[in-house]
Amino acid sequence: MTRVVMKFGGTSVGDVERIRRVARIVAAERKPGPDGKQRGIAVVVSAMSGETDKLVKLARDAGGETPNGPAAGGAGFDDEYDVIVSTGEQVTTGLLALALRQIGIPARSWQNWQMPLKTDAAHAKARIDAIDEKGELARSIDAGEVAVIPGFQGVTADGRITTLGRGGSDTSAVAVAAALKADRCDIYTDVDGVYTTDPRIVPKARRLDRISYEEILEMASLGAKVLQTRSVELAMAQRVPVRVLSSFVEPGEPNAGTIVCDEEEIVEKQIVSGVAYSRDEAKVSLIGVVDAPGVAADIFGRLADANINVDMIVQSQSRQEGKQNIVFTCPDRDAPRASDILHGAHEKIAFDELHIKRDVAKVSVIGIGMKSQVGVARTMFSALAQKGINIEVIATSEIKISVIIDAQYVELAVRALHTAYGLDAA
């Protein structure tokens, strides 16, 4: 039996008319393939666009911005936060199941506790442990009934509801595809594939026919929200074939999308295949820190204990003898907590000054061809210099270069880099 998992994001199920179109796309996919056999279909849906934001706001209004509240990433209220924000997806599963039945397709919703999809207990950012499917879901879809599953959530071993972090429906879809040993996981969204950069800010962005797992992983983790980072990690680990395509196209119309594949399957390796950006950044500078073994371990240990995800780190010699400067970046929402933690440890860490700059952004260029090319960084730095954009922090890996710049220049920088690397559409 061929099984296919189809995932539809928030905009794609944004109103009842769009849900009806989704039902038509699902019905077309369910039709027998060239071998004459019907395909088993599981559909993973997001909440209708804007719903999750509304629910998050409600939870915050009720829970307050306390240190333990979800806003601060703490644990105290996060279990009830998950109960609230997970409800958006439940509504969509019911609506899509109804829309499918209306056009004569047998369908039912499966809430996560019914499958069940088990996660750890890290509320608001849970990780999927396993889909303990005992065969009932597989039997149902193999018998021709479409399973409609809410993305973004799961249950703990004790049956408490969890959510997987924003954008988590992509990860749910890949996990369901892995559990069902699906032939494909198709991610339907409001753009018709993965582009060289966010098509919303660069009209000259081009759709990529193929992208490697490694590149899309970097693009996602560096800010391109077209796929959640963890969904790509999971797809790589479980070898799930993923395709990104448009949900705004009627069945039968061309919809090639982007195939995510192994590096070896890409014949022409671009030096740079994409530009990504993230505005959710803050730069923390610790000036005049004692230069001694164990100091960095102490600083970053405290931040890790507080669950603050530190990204770039640069250490440099201070002009003062025996002192150094440490600059790092972290998600902007964590900056106030990072500041409190470091100030609270002032006696132990003994720095001269602490500066936090919150209006910064990260811009990155990504490409597997970079591995074997020189001069990639020079192109980036001169393109930014020509626009008068100052670089504050630089980080590199084998297939990416990231810089921190003033947030007001982010769009200018992305466009300049897109042109500099020859990515603009003709």
Write out the residues near Mg ion by the rule CB under 5 A.
9, 167
153 binds, among Mg ion, ligand ADP, ligand ASP, none (CB under 5 to 8 A by kind): none
Pick the closer one to ligand ADP by CB: 48 or 349.
Answer: 48
* Contact between 195 and 208 (Cβ < 8 Å): yes
Q: What are the CA-CA distances from residue 13 to residues 40, 50, 187, 271, 272 (Å)?
A: 21, 11, 13, 36, 33
Cis before 67? omega within 30: no
Query: Is 9 near ligand ADP (CB under 6 A)?
Result: yes
* Contact between 260 and 202 (Cβ < 8 Å): no
Strands, E, within 82-240: which ranges? 107-109, 117-119, 128-131, 146-150, 153-155, 161-163, 184-189, 210-212
* Contact between 115 and 133 (Cβ < 8 Å): yes
Query: Is 10 near ligand ADP (CB under 6 A)?
Result: yes
CB-based closest residue to ligand ADP:
9
Query: Is 200 near ligand ADP (CB under 6 A)?
Result: yes
Query: Is 151 near ligand ASP (CB under 6 A)?
Result: yes
CB-based closest residue to ligand ASP:
169
In whole angstroms, the minimum distance from the beta carbon of 394 to ligand ADP comes to: 22
Site stretch for ligand ADP (CB under 6 A), options 26-34, 190-198, 319-327, 376-384: 190-198
What radius of gyration do the chain's Cα atoms show? 23
Pick the closer one to ligand ADP by CB: 168 or 288.
Answer: 168
What is the layout of strands, in order, in the sheet containing 117-119?
A: 128-131, 117-119, 153-155, 161-163
> Residue 227: is it exposed, middle or buried by C-beta count within 10 angstroms (0-12/13-18/19+)?
buried
Picking from 335, 29, 334, the residue whose alpha carbon sits closest to that of residue 186 is: 29
Q: Cα(first)–Cα(last) distance of the chain, in Å?
A: 43
Residues in 213-232 that interact with ligand ADP by CB under 6 A: 219, 224-226
Pair type for strands 40-45 and 3-8: parallel
14 binds, among ligand ASP, ligand ADP, Mg ion, none (CB under 5 to 8 A by kind): none
User: x/- site string to ligand ASP, residues 153 to 182, per CB under 6 A?
Assistant: -------------xxxx-------------
CA torsion sign, 120 to 126 to 130 to 135? positive
In whole angstroms, the minimum distance from the beta carbon of 56 to ligand ASP comes to: 8
Residues in 37-56 that interact with ligand ADP by CB under 6 A: 46
Residues in 47-106 that interact with ligand ASP by CB under 6 A: 47, 52, 88
Give the separation between CA 322 and CA 303, rounded to whole angstroms. 24
Query: Is 197 near ligand ADP (CB under 6 A)?
Result: yes
In whole angstroms, the minimum distance from the beta carbon of 32 to ligand ADP comes to: 28
DSSP letter for 207, please: B
Site stretch for ligand ADP (CB under 6 A), options 83-91, 132-140, 196-204, 307-315: 196-204
Give the separation between CA 257 and CA 144, rounded to whole angstroms. 26
In whole angstroms, the minimum distance from the beta carbon of 46 to ligand ASP comes to: 3
Query: Is 11 near ligand ADP (CB under 6 A)?
Result: yes
In whole angstroms, the minimum distance from the beta carbon of 280 to ligand ASP comes to: 14
Residues that bind ligand ADP (CB under 6 A): 9-12, 46, 167, 189-191, 194-195, 197-200, 219, 224-226, 274
Which residues are at the interface with ligand ASP (CB under 6 A)?
9-10, 46-47, 52, 88, 151-152, 166-169
